[in-house]
Structure 1
Amino acid sequence: MPQPQPAPRGSAAQKGQPTTLFDLPLSHPLRVFFAPRSIAVVGATERPGSVGRAVLANLTTAPFSGSVFPVNLHRSSVLGRRAYPRVTDLPEPVELAVIATPAETVPAVIADCVAAGTEGAIILSAGFRERGPAGQALERQVLEKARRGGLRLLGPNCLGLMNPRIGLNATFASGMALPGQIAFLSQSGALCSAILDWSLQEHIGFSAFVSVGSMLDLGWGELLDYLGDDPHTGCILLYLETVGDARAFLSAARAVARRKPVILLKGGQTPEAIQAAISHTGALAVSQEIFEAACSRCGLLQVESIDELFAMAEVLARQPRPQGPHFTIVTNAGGAGVLAADALAKAGGALTPLSSETRAALDALLPPYWSRQNPVDILGDADPERYAQAIAILSREPASDGLLVILTPQAMSDPTRTAERVAEAVAGNTRPVLASWMGGSSVAAGHEILTRAGIPTFASPDTAARAFCAMWRASRHLQSLYETPSVVDDPEESASRRAQVASVLTAARQAGHTLLSEPEAKAVLQAYDIPTVETRVALSEDEAVQQAEQLGYPVVLKLLSPTITHKSRIGGVRLALRTAEDVRQAYRAIAEAAERQAGAGQMQGVTVQPMITLEGYELIVGSFCDPQFGPVLLFGSGGRLV
């Protein structure tokens, strides 16, 4: 008699949640995509290998309980079902249309859908913006016709959408995802197909499986909003190449990340990959540095590989998040501990410093030649009981934010029984516990025991250490969501400051400047009470000496020029001038350097400042407007390091 298969990891069946078909409000704008009651397949055909055949077969062979209507101009039946020439010829209005016809025909199909009262459409067809101006013109036609009737669109150039919980497979993929609590959204349809195949092998389930394509209408923001409210979704995974509507994306991500993990993998991080992404989706690429800053500010966790994407989904679903970066490692092999410590340090974590109480307790338990530091090497002959007792001691270490248990199969090891004792020892732990059972068949049973106990288990200790660091980043990002700037000025004072700055900027514009001079820039800073070095302008050698004597030696001379911004690079800065003769020589040297490097007439004079000897940090602060993310602040090391 065949044995029943276990429920997919993190599935609704495991959680005891209902699997009702229509549990969303009928007014929800995205219900027609995730729980439609009727579907038209436009372009349905019996031609082997065609998208239209695959979609119709997927919808009719899966346990989807809604109505499905083939639409084909030239056939009266498709795959044994009556077919209709157009959407407007269907015997009843349909909520969702899945379109698999050539791109040139899609505007007319959308017009039919609007006329028939269809609420949503999934456009699988390729050949739009990714092919250039002609495709962009087609997109404009499609969007214009859809908006006339309030028709919402997913795609184009996408694989489609699955809701495994209700048996909905509106894709041309070769299989149906298992039900579970992970929502996966991808800008690459081919990647969806590969991950679907892998997930079936690994028995990983999904609450939603969505290929977003070019995001002509529906984008990341609305999909995140929907999945954030979906009670069947516990974790959201994204593969994206372009952001689309950045404001909607960031707003939704910030709200959803407070309630459930949002983990993303971004394609297009190198110049070569960015060009590939543009040709793939035809969309605007974004600076990787700006994207990473935005994600961390919204509480999102960015990972570097597909393996890490799903590993982190499992880790965050099964373990509490760490409150700090300190990781405690216990191992029966010193080399494995060293690998974990290296990976931890490189990923931004830190080894937990062991307290004197913890050391004393371990001294009483372990052989005298244990490592006496973290990683805690309990030696190759460690039996299950030694593991359990060491873990009990280390779990009480107040400085620790998480624990990694490593086992390598040695002659004295008992991987299976050790896994059982580890699971017992960490039950009820309020800090994350990860494991690495290294090896093959001899550790497989132990690996399964730990996994069933909710302890994420990795084949290598360095991967486990990186996973902990990613958990800490996720916690830190969430904490940053609650950081808001404080307002220190009253309205009248703020208005006065802005008026002072406006007068400086107006004068600079009227003078035709594209850059503020040093005195102008410092006037702006002083308006906001930002301390600056006293700066005086000298238009001649004699005036420079006069200003230096009034300020008091030693002084600094700097080139004053409307065109030369990097003064140090051309010799336009002279430091620690202690006499009038030093000032005269410095003035002449700066003038010669400016004429030599930039030509005559590029020097207006010099600025004279007191020589500051205080130690500190030289910083840069700047701002600019990114095409997608809007205003961006730059902050970092200044001076020559810029």
Structure 2
Amino acid sequence: MTVRNLEFLFRPRSVAVVAEPDEPSRYAEVVIANLVAGGFAGPVISVGARKRSLFGIGTDVRLDEFEVVPDLAIICATLDMVPSIIKQLGARGTRGVIVGPWLWHRMSSNEIAAARKAILEAARPYLIRILGPGSGGLVVPARGLNASAAPVSIMPGKVALITQSTAITAAVLDRAGSRGIGFSTVLHLGASMDVDLADVLDWLAVDRDTQSILVQFDEISGGRKFMSAARGAARNKPVVAIRGGPVKPRHPVTTPFNADDVYEAALQRAGWVRIDTLGDVFEAIEAMARVRPLRGERLTILANGHGLGRIAGDTLLRSGGELGSLSRDTVKHLEELLQTRSSLSNPLALPSDVRPSHWAAALSAVLADSNTDTVLTVCSPSPFAASADVATAICEVSGTAERSVFTCWVGGAAMLEAQRIAAANAVLSHDSPEKAIAVFLGVVNYRRNRRLLQQMPPSLAESFSPDVDAARSVL
């Protein structure tokens, strides 16, 4: 169904929370509190849902009266009550529904299948879009919409987060908040009975408030639909994915490929960048919020010492990255600036007694070099310049630069204030060269994958000849 009626989910003018009076998880109370705290401008109403029949047996449900017809309703009730609730809401004009927690572990597979069928049949006549069941909710901070149970406040930003795990959602939001990073949209899919990942991607691909998308998922249904949406989203904005596949057995059966290989190839072909760990997710969120578009793939490294620069440079080259070559004019300018007779190259080793002003001047010179696409600064504690002063100087230059500046603060407590200053100035900050290089190469891979996305494969591979007998034997 793609984006039809999704505006009632993402841009509702009124919201209702529909709950059983004795709803055990108190999910409804949390959602109402979040809606109020988020500053939603439209009406927020609470609606009770009670079973009509004696002793609560049966599926006929009575909703409390409400004067305002909600565009969006969040349902907090047992799954057997949901079809009747949706039917009554649809008859009154509601077109978007979020179905919250459901006790799937207490239901048989047949009961779940029957409930899903009944929910979809109740929604179909009214073209109601359903997020869930089991959805942790939806947040659009710029519109004051926090229709979720998120335990942390969420600032407006340009990154969209789509997940299939409420625990990962909470962890990412908490980490992002501590780094001053906001979101355009946060959405937990739940069971994706109706609204699935492809639908959300289609919406976000044309959402003007979203500049990049982070996706966490385990499995995908509807491969063709997903690939179409995935390619469409990646044409317009960076998309990064983390996928947790099934745990591999200790002694796996040897096969030519597995499901994870298929996902890897599909995501690469769609123009996405895939990451592997939760730590990478945190790094990716910061990069998506703060990296400027790359003009090229050449990195120039500035470090206050030969050792740090060499480690960063070796890491880059071993990982398939490219060092930029400083022009003669830039080298001559740096020699005069730093008053050194040492041969200067990339990585650029700054003198051990380098001052914050020299950091800023050297960074400005390198950023002006046409052979540089991105700069990485690597700084360790120095008795000649406080790391906080160095961070301030670097941030002043980075703030007006057209190219991205990655910063790395190697050490411990002495580097914490520098990292805080960098984060406050929306400058990328890492605590090791390896992390900074990994994030930079992730951005490079996205650039490469976008080029791959735009390529058309040949109808027949070169030097290919079919082996009909082998194909028949496999069948």
TM-score > 0.5, shorter chain as reference: yes
Shorter chain as denominator, the TM-score bin is: 0.7 to 0.9
State the distance in 2 between where 1:440 and 1:220 align. Answer: 41
Gaps of 5+ in 1: 1-26, 76-84, 274-285, 489-503, 506-514, 522-561, 566-623, 625-642
The match for 1:301 is 273
Matched, 1:144 2:116: no
What CA deviation, in whole Å up to 9, does each residue of 1:22-75 have, x standing for no partner? xxxxx9611211232333323243667522333344345543232413223179
Paired letter, 1:180: G
How far 1:347 sits from its partner (Å)? 3.7
Say whether 1:94 aligns with 2:70: yes
- Describe the shift of the 1:403–1:160 C-alpha distance in structure 2 as closer, same or farther (beyond 3 A): same
2: CA distance between counterparts of 1:269 and 1:358?
52
Give per-residue Cα distances to partners, 1:63-114, cap 9 Å, x unaligned. Answer: 3232413223179xxxxxxxxx634854454322222112233233333333
Match of 2:173 in 1: 196
**Aligned twin of 1:240:** 217
CA distance in 2, matches of 1:173, 1:216: 22
Local SS of the residue matching 1:72: strand
TM-score by length of 1: 0.62
Kindly indicate whether residue 199 of structure 2 is the aligned counterpart of residue 222 of structure 1. Answer: yes
Q: Which AA in structure 2 matches 1:349?
A: G
Provide the C-alpha distance between the structure 1 equivalents of 2:205 and 2:26, rounded to a whole number of angstroms: 35
- Counterpart residue identity of residue 145, structure 1: A
1:39 partner letter? V
Greater Cα shift, 333-342 or 258-267: 333-342
| Shift in Å, 1:303 | 2.1
Match of 1:171?
148
Name segments (4+ residues, structure 1) moved above 6 Å.
none
State the shift of 1:453 in Å.
Answer: 4.6
CA–CA distance in 2 between the matches of 1:180 and 1:289?
33
Amino acid at match of 2:447: S
- Other-structure match for 2:360: 388
Task: Answer yes or no: is the 8 Å Cα contact 2:133–2:191 preserved in 1.
Answer: yes
Contact 2:154 2:173 in 1 (8 A): yes
Q: Which of residues 15, 22, 37 is equivalent to 2:13?
A: 37
- The structure that has the greater radius of gyration is 1
Residue 472 of structure 1, CA deviation: 0.6
Calculate percent identity across the aligned residue pairs.
Answer: 29
Partner in structure 2 of residue 350 of structure 1: 322
> Which residue in the other structure is 1:457 paired with?
429
User: Which whole-Å CA distance do the structure 1 matches of 2:15 and 2:233 have between them?
Assistant: 30
The alpha-carbon distance between structure 1 residues 433 and 54, as it changes in their structure 2 partners (threshold 3 A), is: closer
Q: 1:127 and 1:271, CA in 2 relative to 1: closer, same or farther beyond 3 A?
A: farther
SS at match of 2:372: coil
Could you tell me whether the CA contact under 8 Å between 2:398 and 2:427 is conserved in 1?
A: no
Contact 1:371/1:377, CA 8 A, preserved across alignment: no
Distance in 2 of aligned mates of 1:54 and 1:384: 48
Match of 1:315 among 276, 281, 287: 287
Alignment of structure 1 residues 622-637 onto 2, 5 Å: none
Q: What letter matches 1:40 in structure 2? A: A
Rounded to whole Å, the distance in 2 between the matches of 1:419 and 1:62 is 34
Amino acid at match of 1:266: R
Name the counterpart of 2:56: none
- Superposed, 1:107-126 pairs within 5 Å as 107-126=83-102
Q: Secondary structure at the match of 2:468?
A: coil
Offset of residue 243 of structure 1: 2.0
Distance 1:272 1:142, change over 3 A: farther
Report the CA distance between 1:429 and its aligned residue.
3.8
Task: State the shift of 1:353 in Å.
Answer: 4.4
* TM superposition score normalised by structure 2: 0.82
Which residue number corresponds to residue 81 of structure 2? 105
8 Å CA contact 2:176–2:282 kept in 1: the answer is no
User: Residues of 2 paired with 1:368 and 1:88: CA distance?
Assistant: 80
Secondary structure at the aligned position of 1:86 is classed as strand
Q: Deviations 1:616-636 (Å, cap 9, x if unpaired)?
A: xxxxxxxx9xxxxxxxxxxxx
- Using a 3 Å threshold, how does the CA distance of structure 1 residues 394 and 170 change in structure 2: closer, same or farther? closer
Number of aligned residues: 455
Q: 1-side partners of 2:47 and 2:415: how far apart?
A: 52
Q: Please tell me whether the aligned partners of residues 159 and 289 of structure 2 are also in contact (alpha carbons under 8 angstroms).
A: no
CA positional deviation for 1:188: 1.0
CA 1:351/1:201 → structure 2, altered by over 3 Å: closer, same or farther?
closer
**Which ranges in structure 2 are unaligned for 5 or more consecutive residues?**
53-60, 251-257
Output the CA distance in 2 between the equivalents of 1:180 and 1:301: 21
